[in-house]
Amino acid sequence: MSNNNNNNEIDRDELESLLRPRYGPKCRVLEAETSDFLPPGENFACTLYKVEARAKRSENEENEERLSLVAKTFPSSEAVLKIFDFNCLFEKEIFFYDKLAPALRRLELRYRADATEDDAFDIVPKLYGFRKSRKANEDDKVDDGVVLLMENLKAKGYYTMNKVKGLDLAHSRQAVLHLARMHALAVALKHHEPDFFAGEVVKHAIVAPFHEPEDREDLYEVMRRLLMLDERNAPYADQIAKLLGAEYKAGFFLYQAPEPWCSIMHFDFWTNNVLYHRDEATGRIDDCKFIDFQNYVYNSPLRDLPYFLCSSTEASVMRDHLDELLDLYYETFCRVLRSVQYPKPEAVFTRRSFDEQLKIDAKLEFFHNVLAIKFFCAEIDASFEPGQIDAVIIDSGVNKTGYDKWHNIVQAYLRKDWL
């Protein structure tokens, strides 16, 4: 695979070196084939490849294994590279899969009385290997030769839902249940392993530098102006203008939640980053996994809730079940904390403080919701390239579906007194 990612081939020697730290030092790759993982318009940043391989754990091993993997590499678009610091983003994500996720699993196995190897924290894909650089990098820094190699969940029957339609109640419930569990375990890790959390987790969970082009019109103002083209939003013009004004624009990255509401948040928890699995016999959802941890930060985990519920659920779910899902989150969050011996979680994380922090976080996430819907509903054809992100998605108009979703978000914010 070339440094500029124009060649999507990962040869056998390269795959072997990626697999060996976890698959075995004598691993032999017999065959490897790579192809694009996602269609145009489904990925706006990193380059993702599907890797199908045949491998043995050693040269003398008789049984070969078939591996279905996903390789995540640097973006190929210069326009995207100018906006995001992908060295930082990959450094964060490698730490999450390599260190933080295993720490959450070990914590549950140690402190939850009924935990087993089969049901301990396992809501992220298996990490098969990674490389930070092609160079002999003494300071262990990420460069454009980075590769993150994970299991291909879709090859195991996992699926994502339609980002425009959104999630029904059953899928929304599963996502909220697993999200509350992940958040609670991170809070418990902070309590049980404070040195590791403060010294390693917080160090990696920083906001990655973001470089907004100087010649681009302010996105907050673009979204405000587009929202006002819908006469249904006219009565709330002042409230919307405030949430899309300077205070909340600055706060989106700079706001830091107070204790105890400060832990790990995903920060990009939406439809395409949640995968589900159904039991073949019953057809019921029996598992849920999360992906794409480049953006996670140390802040209020509750910020994931309004973003997910308003951007990624069906209108009927947001309208009729928002309170139910918030209750489910809070109850699960406290239950998981109790299960891993966190002392008196309901006294520390009171329902009143939950509602108060959620209101602050929802206000900060309003722009995130509005911008996300603009992305999700953009009409993109097969000719789309990531470098066209401004022209195709940001500078384009909004279709009826997008305006209806925006209206539903505004109405949800009104009902919850978040606007």
pLDDT tens-digit series, residues 340-373: 999 999 999 999 999 999 999 999 999 999 999 9
Answer yes or no: CATH 3.90.1200 is held by domain 86-125+159-416: yes
Query: What is the number of alpha carbons within 13 Å of residue 369 lying toward its C-beta?
Result: 31
Question: Which amino acid is it at 118?
Answer: D
Q: Is the pLDDT of residue 333 over 80?
A: yes
The residue ranges of every structural domain in the chain are 12-73, 86-125+159-416
pLDDT tens-digit series, residues 174-233: 999 999 999 999 999 999 999 999 999 999 999 998 887 777 788 999 999 999 999 999
| pLDDT at residue number 91 | 96
pLDDT tens-digit series, residues 30-70: 999 999 888 765 666 788 999 999 999 988 888 899 999 99
| pLDDT at residue number 44 | 64
Rounded CA separation 304/184 (Å): 13
Give φ, ψ of 48 to 5 degrees: -120, 130
Q: Per-residue DSSP letters for 73-109? A: E--S-HHHHHHB-HHHHHHHHHHIIIIIHHHHHHHHH
Q: What is the pTM of this model?
A: 0.94
Residue with tokens 């040269």: 59
- The H or E element spanning position 335 is helix 322-339
Residue with tokens 């976890």: 22
Taking alpha carbons only, the member of 34, 31, 21 closest to residue 55 is 31
